[in-house]
Structure 1
Amino acid sequence: MWGKKKAAMLEAGGHAPAFELKSLNGEKRSLDDILAAGPALLAFYKVSCPVCQLTFPYLERLAAGSSLQIIGISQDDDSSTKGFNQRFGVTFPTLLDQSKESYPASNAYGISTVPSLFVVNKDGQIALAFSGFSKRDLEKVGERAGVKPFQPEDNVPEWKAG
C-alpha cells in the first residue's frame, strides 16, 4: 500500500455510491432498496470501536421514533455483529461490509475511521457526512428526524475522534 493515496471520505453535497450488501439474516439489500423507503442514515462501524459503542445507543434512540431510516453497516462478521447489536440494544437493520469482500461499501465511501455516518436523501444526495462522535451533528440528525438523541441527564462529550 505504500505510495497509494487513500480516497477521502465523501462529503455532503456529493452523490452516495450504490452498494449491495447482505443483512444479518442473509438477504441482499441495495442502497436503492433502502432509499425507496425514504432518506436514511448509514452508520459504518466496527464492533471493537469504543467510539462506535458510545454512538450506537444514541442512534437507536433516533431509530425508535423517527421517519429517518437508520442502517448500521458493520465491518465485522455476522456473529460479532449480532453480539454487538445485542449488547448495545441495536434493533435497526444492519448490513455486513466484510474484509473477505474487500469492504466494498466502506471503500466506495472513502472511510478510514469509524464510526462514519452519512445522511442520504431519497434522491441519493449526501445531506450530512461526519466521522467520530459529534454531539452537534447527531443533534442535527435528530432535528431532521424529529427526535432528540440526547436527554438532559446524558453526560456525553461534544466530540470524540473515531
Structure 2
Amino acid sequence: MIRINRLVFILSFAVALLTGDAGCSSIYNAAASTTPARTDARLSLRLREAEEQAHRAVKAIESLRGAKPAGRESAAARLEIEGWEVQRRALSIGDLIARITPPPPAAGAARGALQAAGRATVAAAQAAAKGPAEPELNAATRDLSNALALTQAARTEQAAHAP
C-alpha cells in the first residue's frame, strides 16, 4: 500500500514538472502573458497604473475627510495602504527607468513625485489615526496632485516616443 501511494505521488510530481504547472510557475506565466515585452511599453503601463493608484489615494483622502468619528480609524488605515501602494508603484517605475538608456526625464520626475506623494499620504494617514490632521491631508493632496500632473506628462512623453 505504501509503495503504491509513493509511486502515485512520484508519478504525479513528474507529470506536474513536465507540464510546467508545478509550483508558482503558472502564476509567472500568466503575468508574463499580460505584461508587454518592450521596456517602453511596460513603462507606459506602470505609469498608467501609478496614475490610477494616485487617484485612489485622492479618493481615500476624500473618504477620510467625510468619515464619521467611528469610521475614521478604518479610513485612516485605508489611506495608509493607498500611500504605500503609491510608493510601490513609484519603485516599479524606477526599476524600469534604470533599464532604459537614456532614462526618460519626465518618467524620472514622475517617479520622484510619486515617492514624495506616497510618503506624504502615509504620514497624513498616520497623523489622522491619532487625531485631526488637516494640514497633513492638505499636504498629501497637494503632493498627489503634483504627482498626477507629472505622471500624465510622462505618459504623454512616452506616447510621443512610442514606436
TM class, shorter-length: under 0.3
Instruction: Select the structure that is richer in helix.
Output: 2
If the length of structure 1 is used for normalisation, what is the TM-score? 0.25
* Higher relative contact order structure (alpha carbons within 8 Å, sequence separation ≥ 6): 1
Structure number with bigger Rg: 2
Instruction: Select the structure that is richer in strand.
Output: 1
If the length of structure 2 is used for normalisation, what is the TM-score? 0.25
